[in-house]
Amino acid sequence: MLRFACLPIATLALLAASNAPAMAQSTSVDDVAFFERVAVGTVELTPIGVVRDQRCADARFCFRPDDMRISVILHDRRVPYELVLPLGQAVEVPGGYLLLRDPGTLPRQRGALRLSDYALDIEFIPDPNRNARRAGLSSLPRP
pLDDT of residue 138: 46
Q: 27 near 38, Cβ under 8 Å?
A: no
Amino acid (one-letter) located at 43: V
Assess contact for 23 and 125: CB atoms under 8 A.
no
- Give the strand pairing for 68-76 and 38-40: unpaired
CATH fold for the domain made of 6-16+24-128: Tick-borne Encephalitis virus Glycoprotein; domain 1 (2.60.98)
Query: Cα(35)–Cα(77) distance, rounded to whole angstroms?
Result: 19
pLDDT means over runs of 10, the chain (143 residues): 50 49 73 94 92 79 79 85 92 91 84 87 85 50 51
The pTM score is 0.69
pLDDT of 53 reads 83
* CA atoms of 90 and 66, how far apart (whole Å): 16
